[in-house]
Every structure is written in structure tokens, then in C-alpha cells.
Amino acid sequence: MSAPSMTLFHNPLSPFVRKVLVLLHETGQQDRVALQSSVLSPVSPDLALNEDNPLGKIPALRLADGNVIHDSRVILDYLDHQHVGNPLIPRDGSARWRRLTLASMADGIMDAAVLIRYEVALRAPEKQWDEWLDGQRDKIRRTLVMLEKDAIAELTSHFDVAAISVACALGYLDLRHPDLQWREANPQLAAWFFEVSQRASMLATLPKV
């Protein structure tokens, strides 16, 4: 087995990192990437990460030539061009834009959920902005409703960039925000998530607190 040629700055609790890890497993590339732990927050940066990634965000992927790419969407696109199987991101046409739009909706759920996590975990209770927290939760609920209404058949058809992203978003809600009880209002989404959670890639990347 050859040594990994790339390095992923990661925290396994991050839903954005999990997307990358799931794609690596789905495309058989996990042995090509070494994992470097990077536990950070907006008030506690990773100085080593900042050297090549001034935004200081994970995931970030150092390539074999030393260049660093970041943002999970960019990394997924890069890695999807590095394997010989069927692409998990359609290369062109209406399918590409639809699948990327669904993935973007999932990313929006993750963004809102992470912001809620930061507000609750890092700010003293008396300084938390309740209306802002409610606004983030409403974003999550509205998006889940739309996925439940319009996207179940599409998510079921392929475990690609859209399905991976939605699955990782739902997994993060279970991890950090069980109080949202998202399954009650979205039974079809809940049934779909139960099925895809049994995939080897999802089991292998299940975050552990």
C-alpha cells in the first residue's frame, strides 16, 4: 500500500468534513488521504491551518504538490475527478445544477446548525440572541420541509453529492440538535435517512462525541 499523497485538515464532528470522508469511502480513495486533526472555533484558530488557508476553516485538503484547497464543495469536486468510477457530481446539464442545488440546501442546514452550536456553546446564556437562534432554526425547518416535499425521489435515486450532503446534514442535527426533533415533521426524510445511515461509508464516518 502506497503512502497517502494528500492531507485532510479535519475534525470528525464537522458535517462539512464528514461529507468529504463519505465521498472518499464511496469512491475508494480513503487510503490516499492522511487525516490531520484540526480542532478549532472562531475564537480558537488553528495557526498551522491558517498558513495555507487564511479563512482558517475546515475541511482543507493539502494536495501532493503542496497546494491547499478548501471549502467542502471545492474539495468534493476535486476528489470526484480523481477516481475512475461514475461521477458523484454530474459533469454537465440540468442534473448537475439540480444535484448541486440540493447539496447547497444541505450545506445551508449545516451552516445554520453550526452557527446555533457556536452561539449556544461559546456565548454565555445571558448574551445569547434568542430571536437570531430562532431564525436559524426556522431556516433548518423550512429547508427540511422542502426536501421532504420535493426531493425524496431524487435523493433515493443516487447516493451522490446531493444525498451525501443531506445525509451528513441530518446526521449533524442528530449529533448537536436532537431538540429539533426533525423526524416528526419529515417522516419520508427520516425513513430515507435510516436506510442510507446503514451504508458502509456512513457507518465508517459516524462522529463520536
As a whole number of angstroms, the distance between CA 6 and CA 101 comes to 28
Reported confidence tier of residue 11, pLDDT bands at 50, 70, 90 = very high
As a whole number of angstroms, the distance between CA 47 and CA 169 comes to 27
Read off the pLDDT of residues 154-185 as tens digits, 9 standing for 90 and up.
Answer: 999 999 999 999 999 999 999 999 999 999 99
Q: Say if CB 22 and CB 205 are below 8 A apart.
A: yes
Q: Is the pLDDT of residue 1 over 60?
A: no
As a whole number of angstroms, the distance between CA 179 and CA 114 comes to 14
As a whole number of angstroms, the distance between CA 114 and CA 169 comes to 10
Parallel, antiparallel, or unpaired: how do β-strands 33-37 and 6-10 relate? parallel
Q: Is the dihedral of CA 16, 161, 27, 198 positive or negative?
A: positive
Among the residue ranges 54-58, 60-64, 93-97, 110-114, the one predicted with the least confidence is 54-58
Would you call 112 helix, strand, or coil by DSSP? helix
The CB-side HSE value for 46 (13 A sphere, CA atoms) comes to 19
Q: 69 has which bridge partners?
A: 61
End-to-end CA distance of the chain: 31
Q: Is the pLDDT of residue 44 over 60?
A: yes
Q: Say if CB 198 and CB 205 are below 8 A apart.
A: no
What does the pLDDT read at residue 40? 67
